[in-house]
Amino acid sequence: MQLYLGIETSCDDTSCAIYSPERGIVAYRTASQLDHAKYGGVVPEIASRTHMKTLLPLYETVMEEAGIGLGDLAGIGVTNGPGLTGSLLVGLSFAKAVAYGSGLPLAGIHHIEGHILANAIDQPMETPAVVLVVSGGHTQLFNVERPGRYELLGGTRDDAAGEAFDKIGKILGLPYPGGPSIEKAAREGDAAAFKFPRAMRSSGECDFSFSGLKTAVRLKVEELGEMSERTVVDVAASAQEAIVDALALKSVMAVERTKTSRFYIAGGVAANGRLREVMTERIGGAGAVVSWPPIEYCTDNAAMIACAAWHHLSAGRNDGLDLNTFPRGELKSWS
Ligand code: KG4
Ligand code: ZN
């Protein structure tokens, strides 16, 4: 059995996984850092220092749970960007040390490719497909010809969808991160209570913009003054509906343009139940089948990185020990 180790430390989640192309995920652990909540956002230095403390014991636990030693592995994959430099360096240095000590091949994985290939963990990904990547840092539509071949169809001009959830959550005084908090509040609210803008609605591009929505919500909240619990859940539901509607609108456009019959959602915001519901209905209406990874593989995790490592290394693409991190950068095709 071929086994691949994946390591992910690009932001505030420390994660290790062992993946086998025959069996799927053999062992997997993520340690989410809770210290950031009281600051209302990720504090980079706390994130990297916590990765330093957490990564080695997490790796040991995962290897023990898989019942394997280094000699059983076929290769190592590690996220080397985009992300917080200090956080990325912890994971990359660790992965390099393991690769150096064992002689195993190493593959640097683009975080966004990891999110896309989270859809290939439990079953082969059907391609060509359109993939909507919606996370805290990214909102992009890709035409995926096959794993390794990516064409960018469009992306956000300003805030990412997850960032919009997080900022609106903060405006409403909901716990960090805003995404899950808004989804929870929205279940009790009326999505039609407030009319928020859907930016770029009539543009012919597959692009998004969410900064106007954030401003519209802030202005509405200022106008409302002291808000009852009822009003908070109504604003949350209306804002969530505006984000989901904008995402669905451009996703349908991408399906119509590419004439694809397969659509996947990826990234942290793919955990949102309302997004899944609306996308199933509207993408289904446009003639494509929609799916998404299990919730635990939507938000940052190493399972998707271990799976991506298998795609790279089995195709003969690997990196040397001079591999570096990068804070920003588009996903490029490699196959
Ligand atoms: O992919 P991810 O874990 O990290 C990044 O690569 O950014 O995504 C995190 C983002 C956050 O903005 C968070 O608020 C959002 O995903 N998120 C959600 C939900 N769960 C996480 N957004 C909406 N609804 C959710 N249930
Ligand atoms: Zn992510």
Structure tokens at 184: 């929870």
Ligand 1 pocket check for 179: Cβ under 6 Å: yes
Match 């804002």 to its residue by tokens: 239
Structure tokens at 308: 């991506």
Same domain, yes or no: 139 and 281: yes
Ligand 1 pocket check for 165: Cβ under 6 Å: yes
The pLDDT score that the predictor gives to residue 277 is 98
The pLDDT score that the predictor gives to residue 27 is 98
Structure tokens at 285: 């209406």
Give the C-alpha distances (Å, rounded to integers) separating 195 from 37, 101, 114, 240: 30, 58, 35, 11
DSSP three-state, residue 226: coil
Starting at the earlier edge strand, list the strands of the sheet with 106-110. Answer: 24-32, 13-20, 4-8, 75-81, 106-110
Same domain, yes or no: 17 and 77: yes
Residue 205 maps to which CATH number? Answer: 3.30.420.40
Number of domains in the chain: 2
Amino acid identity of 180?
P
Whether residue 150 contacts residue 142, with contact meaning beta carbons closer than 8 Å, is answered with yes
Ligand 1 pocket check for 301: Cβ under 6 Å: no
The pLDDT score that the predictor gives to residue 39 is 87
Please report whether residue 205 resides in a domain: yes
Structure tokens at 213: 């929505």
Same domain, yes or no: 138 and 242: yes
Please report whether residue 332 resides in a domain: no
Same domain, yes or no: 203 and 113: no
- List, for the chain, all residue ranges whose pLDDT scores fall below the cut of 70: none
Same domain, yes or no: 249 and 101: no
Same domain, yes or no: 143 and 111: no
The pLDDT score that the predictor gives to residue 36 is 87
Same domain, yes or no: 258 and 310: no
**Of 157, 148, 152, 70, residue with least CA distance to 114:** 148
Say how far apart CA 287 and CA 259 lie, in whole Å: 8
Match 């990185």 to its residue by tokens: 305
The pLDDT score that the predictor gives to residue 328 is 96
Please report whether residue 329 resides in a domain: no
How many Å lie between the centroid of ligand 2 and the Cα of residue 81?
A: 10
Nearest CA to ligand 1 atom 13: 179
The pLDDT score that the predictor gives to residue 38 is 85
Whether residue 117 contacts residue 304, with contact meaning beta carbons closer than 8 Å, is answered with yes
Whole-structure pTM value: 0.96
Please report whether residue 169 resides in a domain: yes
Say how far apart CA 106 and CA 109 lie, in whole Å: 10
HSE-up (13 A, CA, CB side) for residue 132: 34
Say how far apart CA 164 and CA 131 lie, in whole Å: 20
41: Cβ–Cβ under 8 A, 6 or more apart, which residues? 166, 176
The pLDDT score that the predictor gives to residue 59 is 98
**Based on C-alpha coordinates, what's the Rg of the chain?**
20
- Region for residue 259 given its phi and psi (left: phi exceeds 0; alpha: psi -120 to 50; beta: otherwise): left
Please report whether residue 261 resides in a domain: yes
Structure tokens at 179: 């995404």
Say how far apart CA 110 and CA 78 lie, in whole Å: 9
Strand-pair category, 13-20 with 106-110: unpaired
Task: For residue 169, give the ligand 1 atom closest to its CA.
Answer: 14
How many Å lie between the centroid of ligand 2 and the Cα of residue 262?
A: 22
Same domain, yes or no: 224 and 92: no
Same domain, yes or no: 248 and 134: yes
pLDDT tens track for 244-275: 999 999 999 999 999 999 999 999 999 999 99
Same domain, yes or no: 97 and 160: no
Whether residue 210 contacts residue 156, with contact meaning beta carbons closer than 8 Å, is answered with yes
Say how far apart CA 178 and CA 180 lie, in whole Å: 6
Same domain, yes or no: 182 and 273: yes
Please report whether residue 335 resides in a domain: no
Nearest CA to ligand 1 atom 3: 299
Q: Which of 135, 241, 300, 328 to mutate to test the pocket of ligand 1 (most atoms within 8 A of CB)?
A: 135
Task: For residue 163, give the ligand 1 atom closest to its CA.
Answer: 12
Ligand 1 pocket check for 267: Cβ under 6 Å: yes
Please report whether residue 321 resides in a domain: no
Amino acid identity of 156?
T
Ligand 1 pocket check for 136: Cβ under 6 Å: yes
Say how far apart CA 114 and CA 306 lie, in whole Å: 8
36: Cβ–Cβ under 8 A, 6 or more apart, which residues? 12, 42, 43, 46, 47, 176
Ligand 1 pocket check for 178: Cβ under 6 Å: yes
First-to-last C-alpha distance (Å) of the chain: 24
Q: Which of 9, 165, 210, 298 to mutate to test the pocket of ligand 1 (most atoms within 8 A of CB)?
A: 165
The pLDDT score that the predictor gives to residue 207 is 96
Same domain, yes or no: 150 and 219: yes
Check residue 143 and report its DSSP letter: E
Please report whether residue 245 resides in a domain: yes
Ligand 1 pocket check for 189: Cβ under 6 Å: no
How many Å lie between the centroid of ligand 2 and the Cα of residue 72?
A: 28
Task: For residue 115, give the ligand 1 atom closest to its CA.
Answer: 1
Ligand 1 pocket check for 293: Cβ under 6 Å: no
Strand-pair partners of 146: 149
| Ligand closest to CA 159 | 1
Domain range spanning residue 39? Answer: 4-118+297-314
